[in-house]
Structures are given as C-alpha cells and as structure tokens.
Copies of this chain bind each other. A is one copy, B any other.
C-alpha cells in the first residue's frame, strides 16, 4: 500500500508540477525511485513515464482484458503524421527489437549475409543465429563511426541477399556516422541490399551531420527505419517500437510480426507520450545535465571517453573490465557489460543528475585507488 500511495502522490505531482517553458524545464522525476541497485546498464530513461502516459495506463486498465485494437489505429496515424508518411508505412513491434527480428527473418535465405559494425547493438546478430547468416563484421573507424566504405565493399563482395544494419547513433559507442555517407550508399545500392537503419536514440542527437533516413522510404522499398518508445519516451518496460518503410515492405514484414502488437497499455501510453509536448524537452534536459556531470568528472580525472550523442557514454577502464563492473556492483551500481572488441571501455547509461553525482563520487574513489 505504501508504494502505491507514493505512486499516486507522484501522479498528482506529475499533473501539476511541471514548467514547460523553454527557459525553465523542471526535470525532477515524478515517479518513485525504485529500490535496489542504481541501474546505469541498460540505457533506460530514469525520468519514468510521462505524466500523461501514466494517466493513460491507469485509464486503460478497464480495457486491458480486450485484445489491443482501440489504440493501434490512432497511434499509427499520429506516427505517420510525425514522419510525413501514411499509416501503411508503419509496422509495429514489441519494442524496436521486434522490427530488427522481423527484418532479419524476412531477409534470411540461402547465402544471406548481414553487414554490420563491430561493435554494434547485439540484437541483430542474436536474431540471425538460427538462420545460417554469414556475418560480415566491419570495425568502426578511428573516430567510432560506421566504416561505410568498407561496409559497401563487403556488401558487394558476393551475390545473395544482404541486410546492412546501421545503428546511428551507434550502440554501445554513442557515436555518430555521417548521414551523407549513408545517403550516398542507399542512393546507389542494388535492390539485394536491405538497409535497417536503427534510430533508437534519434531524439538525443544534436548535430548538423545527422538526420533521419525516413526520407528514403517513399521511393525505396529496401530501407527500414527503426524507432522506439523505450528511450526518449521512457517506455522500455512496455515494449513499443516501430518500423517505417515502403508499404510493400511493411506488408512483407507484417507476415513475421507477432499478432496483436503493441499491447493495449503500451499503445495508449505511447499515444499519450507523443501528445505530451513536455516529454522530449524534459528527457533532453535531464540527459544533458546528467551527461555534463559525468563528462566533467571524467575530464577532470583524465579518464578517456568517447563523445556521446545519446543517453549513455563509453569511458576508458584501466585493467580488467569485468573486475571494474564487479567493483561497481559492490557499490550497488549496475553498469555496462562487455562489448567486445572494446574491452578497454565501460558503457555507462546517463541517469538522473543526482544519480550521476553518486556514480561520479564512486568513480573518484576508484580513481584514487588506481582502479580506473
């Protein structure tokens, strides 16, 4: 009961307590802090659900015994409007991971290959496992971008279907790949190359070298743009992602999707989150402050780091990474996991400002002991 009372108090606060003016964005979280370790290991949005999304979930309970239907159409309409396409360009998944799964399923076949960065988001090669794909892992460039020239070369080396997976900004490095190079490739690629452009962290990026690949989907049937509600909209636990592609492609992909997706509460929460205009600015402001605390400390301590365009960051670890992760766990902080071949780096997610203060204070003690 105590916990529920706290949630309700949080909900009430959420409905009244925000300033959304451009000059003063309040980023205090409106949800109760969970017990257990500080979770800086899964690139979640620690702010919690948008107030409107929490309200939508509670309202949605009365219909959660019915198969999801009522939210799906309006959500597709809202997303289509947002992306300047029609709803038949949208395919839903249980998280963006399902869009990756269905793309991998749809392209699979004899002599099929996946060309991808090394390292990049693991789901694409996890889903490839049962299909006998050949994986063409292409190391990132020295500035941690996708090596588009090398990926093109590997894609064209043989015949057969190719899935080119580009995660931009890239997970786990948080770094950008120049969109001009991606556009050049998409514009000239043969039809046997299917592009899966994963833009899970799209909203976090500030760069004039970065834009969405959505502009291709009206003319090209071999481009699938992947988006998620798990990051900027903080709905990781509810599972809503979507693909944007040519209607011919979405029709083909839908044959592989689990039916009745997304679930009802996820659908209503996603729609409410889209309509809550304060959500993106709040998430960006919180992330910017938390990231600032982290980068200031890393720079102060002289610990090398990659530039981050996301809600996570990679920093250097002296010595064994597993030992570092274990030592953080002893301090009740969950960070990273090994991302080979980058075993000299830890990936840390950006939590709330006070959470980053705590992380940084632990990091300083590690530094004093020569552990980092």
> Do A7 and B65 touch (CB < 8 A)?
no
Contact with B along A82-111 (1 / 0, CB 8 A): 000000000001110110010001100000
Q: Which of A45-53, A143-151, A170-178, A211-219 contacts B (4 or more CB under 8 A)?
A: A45-53
Cβ-neighbour of A64 out of B4, B62, B105, B235 (below 8 A): B235
With contact pairs A255-B130, A265-B265 given, residues A65 and B237 touching in the complex (Cβ less than 8 Å): yes
Tell me whether A315 is interfacial, beta carbon within 8 Å: no
The B-contacting residues of A in range 251-273, CB under 8 angstroms, are 255-256, 258-261, 263-266, 269
Cβ-neighbour of A42 out of B64, B67, B98, B255 (below 8 A): B67
Cβ-neighbour of A95 out of B6, B58, B105, B258 (below 8 A): B258
The B-contacting residues of A in range 116-130, CB under 8 angstroms, are 123, 126, 129-130
> Do B44 and A67 touch (CB < 8 A)?
yes
The B-contacting residues of A in range 223-244, CB under 8 angstroms, are 230, 234-239
CB-nearest residue of chain B to A46: B65
> Do B238 and A64 touch (CB < 8 A)?
yes
CB-nearest residue of chain B to A237: B264
CA distance A197 to B129 in the complex (A): 26
> Do B68 and A64 touch (CB < 8 A)?
no
With a CB–CB cut-off of 8 A, which chain B residues contact A123? 259
CB-nearest residue of chain B to A265: B265
The B-contacting residues of A in range 1-16, CB under 8 angstroms, are 3-4, 6-7, 10
> Do B65 and A235 touch (CB < 8 A)?
yes
> Do B259 and A34 touch (CB < 8 A)?
no
> Do A259 and B49 touch (CB < 8 A)?
no
CA distance A234 to B264 in the complex (A): 13
Distance (Å) between the CB of A284 and the closest chain B CB?
16
CA distance A164 to B62 in the complex (A): 37
Cβ-neighbour of A236 out of B66, B98, B235, B261 (below 8 A): B66
Cβ-neighbour of A237 out of B31, B47, B63, B258 (below 8 A): B63
CB-nearest residue of chain B to A122: B259
> Do A4 and B256 touch (CB < 8 A)?
no
With a CB–CB cut-off of 8 A, which chain B residues contact A235? 64-65
> Do A255 and B129 touch (CB < 8 A)?
yes
> Do A67 and B265 touch (CB < 8 A)?
no
> Do A68 and B259 touch (CB < 8 A)?
no
> Do B66 and A31 touch (CB < 8 A)?
no
CA distance A249 to B129 in the complex (A): 16
Distance (Å) between the CB of A328 and the closest chain B CB?
18
CB-nearest residue of chain B to A236: B67
CA distance A236 to B49 in the complex (A): 23
Tell me whether A181 is interfacial, beta carbon within 8 Å: no
Distance (Å) between the CB of A158 and the closest chain B CB?
22
Cβ-neighbour of A49 out of B44, B45, B64 (below 8 A): B64
> Do A263 and B260 touch (CB < 8 A)?
no
Distance (Å) between the CB of A40 and the closest chain B CB?
12
With contact pairs A64-B57, A265-B237 given, residues A258 and B49 touching in the complex (Cβ less than 8 Å): no
The B-contacting residues of A in range 293-349, CB under 8 angstroms, are none
> Do B34 and A66 touch (CB < 8 A)?
yes
Cβ-neighbour of A4 out of B3, B55, B101, B130 (below 8 A): B55
Nearest 4 interchain pairs by C-beta: A237-B264, A65-B234, A64-B237, A239-B263
16 contacts between A and B (CB under 8 A): A7-B58, A31-B65, A49-B65, A54-B61, A57-B57, A57-B64, A64-B235, A64-B236, A65-B235, A67-B230, A95-B260, A97-B258, A97-B260, A98-B258, A105-B105, A239-B263
